[in-house]
Structure 1
Amino acid sequence: MSVTETSAPGRNVAVLRKQRGMSQVKLARAAGVSVSLLSKVEIGDRALTQGVAAALARALDVGLDELLGAVPVGRHDEESLRELRSAIRRFDLPGEAPTDLDALRRDLAHLTKLRGDADLSGVLEKLPDLLTRVTHHAHTAGTPDAWAKVSEVYSTVYWLAARHRWMDLAELAVLKQRLAAERADPLTTAVAARDEAGTFLNSGDFAGGLAVVDRAIAHVESHLRGRERFLALGLLHLRGLTLAGRERDNAEAERHMAAAWRAAEEIPRDVNVHGIHFGPENTAVHVVATYADLERHRKALEVTDDLRRRPLTLPATRISPLHMNTARAKLALRDRDGALESLVDAWDTAPQMARVHPTSQELLRVLIALHRRSNPALVRLAKKAGLPV
């Protein structure tokens, strides 16, 4: 049985361990986790967090993407993915520039909406042609704004690849994104650095990602002023916050959290920066996730409760992970019904994302294992995910 055929990352641990002839005791010692925790993860009594997954992946000598399980490419997506890779290869080859710039702007806005809606299949279908057109336009126009648009599209390529754990594509995307950003402006460069740090996050190299973030922050502090400075610093500190949480570094997490909140005070309402949101709401969403990573689950729920006292303006791509991390915290506090309710909300908000997200997969696996009696809501959700109950 290959790893990608299993239904959740925690089950992949047992598959990979047995393939290597390792006992639970040997793997636990190598990863620096308890045998009890490892056993619970494998049988489905405990959800595998990405911080623990990174430690286990290192001990198993595999990539984090392999342990979490890369999403297989669907047959109907294979052609779009081939075309996308072809467009990426032709980054430095100028072609015929689009003549209808209004249509190009509309298509870029549509791509941003598809990403915000977490419409993964829609994004993949749109990307090859749009990436080709926006790159040809940048080669012809040669302006910072034109190259900023190229960088923004590559940010979406990275986002799509990271969601599926297609890490070779994600790393290729951030390389081209950085090259485009260097021809654009300092804010675009900061966003590219944020995504570059994301590849370290996705590979489990949290310390390396933090180093990328700190280098980018120093660059922003030297080159940006005013609103753009706060936006760039805010986005970078949110990435640093996530990395520090996965590293289980409380002090570093608190440092990035405080800096992100300071930046958010200057941006009273969340705004979209090259497809990524920053402001008070998305800062709170990241704080919830990090508190869950640090096992400060009651604090995570306190922030969630405060955040949901007012209507949220964030798109589905941010709201669905908020529900997932709320479910993580509830499950850790043994509120299984509440965890299931939040997980259902995550699926209702962004079903395509929930289907491929490792946190969603793990939560569902554990809830199925823990519920010894039939639960109608769980049965319905399992059917959506294609899992037996």
Structure 2
Amino acid sequence: MGTTQLAPGANVAALRKGRGWSQAYLARKAAVSVSLLSKIEVGDRALTPAVAATLGRAMSLTMAEVLGRAPVAQDDEARLSELRSAIRDYDLPGQQRMEEGAIVAGLVAAGRHRDTADVARLLRMLPGLLRAATAHAYAANTAQGWAALAEVYSTVYWLAARHRWMDLAELAVARQQWAAEQKPNPLAVAVAVRDRAGTYLNFGDCETGLVLIDRAVSAAQTALSGTDRDVAVGILSLRGMTLAGRLDDKREAAREAERHMRAAEAASSYFERDLDLHGLTFGPQNTLTHRLATCVDLGRPQEALALTDNLPAVLEGLPATRVAPTHINAARAQLDTGDRDGALENLGIAWEAAPQMARIHPMGQEVFRVLASLHKRSNPQLLKLSKLSGIAL
């Protein structure tokens, strides 16, 4: 979006210095080594989500605050303000009226912008779509109308979470759950819980997020059947897998992650290919990308890389919002195993697949910063990514 920002590791240094703390003091409070903290700050090591959460607790900040809020281009400030206004007016439907077909078309367009990670266009259309979906839900007062409104709020959450605008993300999931509960719709409720658990992930409170997931899985298994049950259990288990992989206790993390992996894989086994439903992608391909990411979070880079042998086939047909993070996770695993050239190649693929998303992706920023620090001389690919990311070499 045309503006620059500090990469997460550099943001840690800025936050620490702003408090007047030494590296030794922060390291002691966070129970990490001074050497690790120093390497993170200068860009010799990537700031992982788990360490970001630990440093956040030491500084009384959320993990999202440690990673740093993605900036908004000046031209988009007004649109973000309009979106916040539309969310405040959740129970004031206004006079804007749209037929159900127009709402569905709007959701399809929003889904297309989300899948291609065109966050700029998504931000431009969301305020109007949210107001229209709100008016329609009140006027129609059907399960479909309220589910459509919940889906718009889910997209707002996605946009906010990608930028670490956590106040907006929390408000969006609260409104999403409210909309999903206006008429009986267990699948919409499951999606809302999945997104709510995502806010706990971004705040670094993985334990509470897992409690929500387990409760929602039990509810979905009771209230749903067939494809809807498999999708609900699957998407909740994928979120559980990610939450578990970031628990502080790595033995418990591995055990819980494996439990959710098995549940997600069992649910995805009913689908030959991934499907799109209610703004979601679920199936065997997306499940594998989550396994890869969780292996990296668990500190198992070799296991993660073993899943990349046929990555083009795995990612075929998946949206850019899954393709880019998967290549970023592969790059992170390669960085952990010392394969700098492979990491740079995968990072370049991620940027090509979803440049707007890669620019604001915290791990994408961190992997690039470490690669730039480790390479003794720049090369054309580093220079290109430096320009795209806004991170100086």
TM-score by length of 2: 0.95
Asked if the contact 1:97–1:140 (Cα under 8 Å) also holds between the matched residues in 2, the reply is no
**Distance of aligned partners of 1:273 and 1:99 in 2 relative to their CA distance in 1, 3 Å threshold:** closer
Partner of 1:29: 28
Correspondence for 2:156: 157
The runs of 5 or more residues in structure 1 that have no matched partner are: none
Equivalent in the alignment of 1:145: 144
Give the alignment of 1:217-236 within 5 angstroms. Answer: 217-236=217-236
Aligned to 2:338: 334
2:210 — aligned with what?
Answer: 210
**Cross-structure match for 1:174:** 173
Aligned counterpart, 1:357: 361
Q: 1:373 aligns with which of 369, 377, 387?
A: 377
| Residue equivalent to 2:242 | 242
CA contact (8 A) 1:120 1:352 kept: yes
- 1:307 is displaced (CA, Å) by 4.1
Residue by residue, what CA displacement relative to the aligned partner does 1:239-261 show, whole Å, maximum 9, x if unpaired? 00000111141100111011110
Counterparts of 2:99 and 2:146, CA distance in 1 = 17
User: Aligned partners of 2:125 and 2:84: how far apart in 1?
Assistant: 13
Name whichever of 18-27 and 51-60 sits farther off: 18-27
Deviation at 1:19, TM superposition (A): 2.2
* Counterpart residue number, 1:52: 51
Larger displacement relative to structure 2 (263-272 or 252-261): 263-272
Shift of 1:267: 2.0
Query: Structure 1 residues 125 and 369, CA, compared in 2 at 3 Å: closer, same or farther?
Result: same
Return the alpha-carbon distance in structure 1 between the equivalents of residues 314 and 288 of structure 2: 13
Report the Cα offset of residue 99 of structure 1: 4.4
Which residue of 2 is the match for residue 128 of structure 1?
127
One-letter code of the match for 2:89? R
Q: Which residue of 2 aligns with 1:258?
A: 262
Cα distance in 1 for partners of 2:25, 2:256 equals: 30
Partner SS state of residue 307, structure 2 = helix
* Among candidates 342, 349, 355, match of residue 345 of structure 1: 349
**Counterpart of 2:377 in 1: which secondary structure?**
coil
Which residue in the other structure is 1:192 paired with? 192
In the alignment, the residues of structure 1 paired with residue 383 and residue 98 of structure 2 have an alpha-carbon distance, to the nearest angstrom, of 52
Change (3 A) 1:323 1:40: same
In 2 relative to 1, CA 322–311 (structure 1 residues): closer, same or farther, beyond 3 Å? closer
Per-residue Cα deviation, 1:169-193 (whole angstroms, up to 9, x for no partner) = 0000000000011124000000000
User: 2:98 aligned with 1:95, yes or no?
Assistant: no
Q: SS at 1:308's partner residue? A: helix
For these two proteins, the number of residue pairs brought into alignment is: 386
Counterpart pick for 1:316 among 320, 333, 339: 320
Distance 1:151 1:109 in 2: 14
Report the equivalent of 2:6.
Answer: 7
User: What are the Cα deviations for residues 31-54 of structure 1, in whole angstroms up to 9, with x where unaligned?
Assistant: 222222212111111101111100
Query: In the TM superposition, what is the alpha-carbon distance from 1:97 to its structure 2 partner?
Result: 5.3
Report if aligned partners of 2:7, 2:391 keep a CA contact under 8 Å in 1: no
Counting aligned pairs with the same residue, the percent is: 54
Output the CA distance in 1 between the equivalents of 2:315 and 2:260.
26
RMSD of aligned alpha carbons: 1.5
Helix, strand or coil at the partner of 1:277: strand
Does residue 66 (structure 1) correspond to residue 65 (structure 2)? The answer is yes
Q: 1-side partners of 2:255 and 2:40: how far apart?
A: 27
Which one is further off, 230-239 or 364-373? Answer: 364-373
The answer to whether the Cα contact below 8 Å between 2:372 and 2:378 also exists between their aligned partners in 1 is no
For 1:293, the equivalent position in structure 2 comes to 297
Deviations 1:14-36 (A, max 9, x none): 22222223332332232222222
Normalising by structure 1, report the TM-score. Answer: 0.96
Runs of 4+ in structure 1 deviating by more than 4 angstroms, as ranges, are none
After superposing the two structures, state which structure 1 stretch, 193-202 or 211-220, moved more: 211-220
Q: Say if 2:62 and 2:202, in contact at 8 Å, map to a contact too.
A: no
Q: CA deviation at 1:376?
A: 1.4
